[in-house]
């Protein structure tokens, strides 16, 4: 099966006054403030389609623009690109969300999908009025997905009486006809894997060393097989490209210096209040009173985990993931200049080569 190459569509440009600043701040935690820029959404979606991407993700957070509406704008601007909408369970009723997905899929000619999440930060979900702890959110997600799936597939009205949801004579007047996956799910906990195995077409795996990646893929596919299902595997990769490995290394070092400088200035509170840092604080990975140090650690961690090199080198590294069983690769990279876009095209071209799609055994 051909490798699915995924990008992302943001509602607005990354913070920064120059291309170099925006390249650097791509590796900083995302500020809670984000506007909706219609020209940016349409242009970046079209460019992703033109550059050979198959799909793109629209992300979600409590303070950001509505991802369903951003996805609709991106789909209207394109003809082939599929869009996965990050949707947090609990923000709307499952019947309403299912109709939103079905409507978007129909209007786009089968190009919409939902990436379902439970919310990794207690603080961020509470900003939308959700006071459940993570364990309870997973339990609710199991019931949510049952109702969500039934709404997408049932042709007769149905009732449901559960712990979190109660519906009577629920019926959607339209059903999706997706050309790709309809639902994806992540989460490395046993509960997350089970939900993916039962309900999703695609499972998003966390960044892991290659042997652990192989084990995780084997385990989740085995879990899906127990339900008589198959799963495609999605892996997010942050990328720093340049013409050569040496130049890419130099660019990564420059990005690190710039990101550390820019996030420590007069506007540092924009980054210390980022949602990604809520997660670190809740997991005991950071001192709430050391916000600036936490931002710096996040920047260094982002760069350390990136695939840095020429398009040839990065394509070879991604090829190893492909042999481990990854079907969808999301390329997260700064595209702020013509050179950035040329490098991205070069990488996508290499990833589209038939030998990469077929060499599952190397």
Residue 283: band (very low, low, confident or very high) from pLDDT cuts 50, 70, 90: confident
DSSP per-residue string spanning 102-125: HHHHHHTTS-EEEEEE--S-HHHH
Contacts of 335 (CB under 8 A, 6+ apart): 44, 47, 341, 344
Render pLDDT for 287-326 as a digit per residue (tens, 0 to 9): 555 788 899 999 999 999 999 999 999 999 999 999 999 9
CA torsion angle 294 300 306 308 (round to 10):
160
Q: How far is Cα 313 from Cα 54, in angstroms, rounded to an integer?
A: 22
Question: Would you mind telling me the total number of residues written for the chain in this entry?
Answer: 362
Both structure tokens of 163: 């712990």
Q: How far is Cα 115 from Cα 220, in angstroms, rounded to an integer?
A: 17
The dihedral region occupied by 144, where left means phi > 0, alpha psi between -120 and 50, and beta the remainder, is alpha
In this predicted structure, what is the pLDDT of residue 361? 36
Residue 146: band (very low, low, confident or very high) from pLDDT cuts 50, 70, 90: very high
Bridge partners of 112, per DSSP, are 83
Q: How far is Cα 214 from Cα 313, in angstroms, rounded to an integer?
A: 21
Contact in structure between 67 and 101 (CB atoms under 8 Å): no
For the chain, the distance separating the N- and C-terminal CA atoms, rounded to the nearest angstrom, is 16
Question: What are φ and ψ of residue 161, in 5° steps?
Answer: -130, 110
Render pLDDT for 33-48 as a digit per residue (tens, 0 to 9): 999 999 999 999 999 9
Q: How far is Cα 333 from Cα 344, in angstroms, rounded to an integer?
A: 8
Q: How far is Cα 240 from Cα 293, in angstroms, rounded to an integer?
A: 23
Work out the percent of the chain whose per-residue pLDDT is above 70: 96
Contact in structure between 307 and 333 (CB atoms under 8 Å): no
Q: How far is Cα 332 from Cα 239, in angstroms, rounded to an integer?
A: 6
In this predicted structure, what is the pLDDT of residue 349? 97
Both structure tokens of 132: 């459940």
User: Which segments within 124-229 are labelled E, that is strand?
Assistant: 158-161, 166-170, 183-185, 202-205
- 172 pLDDT more than 60: yes
Render pLDDT for 251-275 as a digit per residue (tens, 0 to 9): 999 999 999 999 997 788 888 888 8
- 53 pLDDT more than 80: yes
In this predicted structure, what is the pLDDT of residue 90? 87
Q: How far is Cα 222 from Cα 90, in angstroms, rounded to an integer?
A: 28
The residue with tokens 């550059």 is 51
Nearest to 247 by CA among 330, 320, 340, 351: 340
- 112 pLDDT more than 80: yes
In this predicted structure, what is the pLDDT of residue 285? 61
In this predicted structure, what is the pLDDT of residue 273? 86
């Amino acid at each position: 099966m051909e490798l699915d190459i995924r990008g992302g569509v943001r509602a607005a440009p990354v913070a920064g006054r120059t291309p170099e600043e925006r390249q650097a701040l791509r590796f900083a935690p995302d500020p809670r403030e984000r506007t909706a820029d219609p020209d940016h959404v349409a242009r970046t979606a079209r460019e992703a389609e033109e550059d050979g991407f198959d799909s793109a993700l629209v992300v979600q957070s409590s303070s950001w623009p509505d991802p369903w509406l951003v996805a609709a704008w991106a789909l209207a601007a394109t003809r082939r690109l599929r869009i996965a909408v990050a949707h947090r369970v609990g923000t709307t009723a499952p019947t309403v969300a299912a109709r939103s997905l079905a409507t978007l899929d129909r209007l786009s000619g089968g190009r919409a999908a939902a990436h379902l999440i439970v919310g990794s930060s207690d603080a961020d979900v509470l900003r939308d009025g959700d006071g459940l702890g993570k364990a309870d959110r997973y339990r609710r997600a199991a019931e949510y997905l049952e109702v969500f799936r039934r709404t997408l597939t049932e042709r007769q009205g149905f009732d449901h009486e559960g712990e979190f949801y109660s519906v009577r004579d629920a019926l959607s007047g339209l059903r999706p006809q997706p050309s790709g996956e309809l639902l994806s799910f992540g989460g490395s906990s046993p509960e997350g894997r089970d939900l993916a195995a039962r309900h999703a077409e695609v499972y998003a795996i966390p960044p892991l060393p290659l042997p652990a990646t192989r084990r995780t893929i084997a385990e989740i596919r085995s879990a899906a097989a127990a339900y008589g299902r198959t799963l495609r595997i999605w892996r997010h990769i942050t990328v720093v490209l340049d013409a050569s490995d040496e130049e890419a290394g130099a660019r990564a070092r420059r990005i690190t210096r710039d990101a550390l400088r820019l996030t420590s200035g007069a506007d540092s509170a924009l980054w210390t209040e980022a949602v990604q840092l809520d997660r670190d604080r809740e997991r005991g990975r950071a001192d709430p009173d050391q916000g600036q140090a936490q931002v710096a650690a996040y920047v260094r961690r982002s760069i350390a985990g990136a695939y840095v090199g020429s398009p040839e080198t990065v394509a070879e590294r991604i090829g190893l993931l492909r042999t481990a069983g990854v079907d969808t690769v999301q390329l997260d990279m700064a595209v702020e200049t013509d050179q950035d876009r040329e490098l991205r095209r070069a990488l996508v071209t290499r990833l589209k080569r038939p030998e990469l799609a077929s060499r599952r055994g190397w």
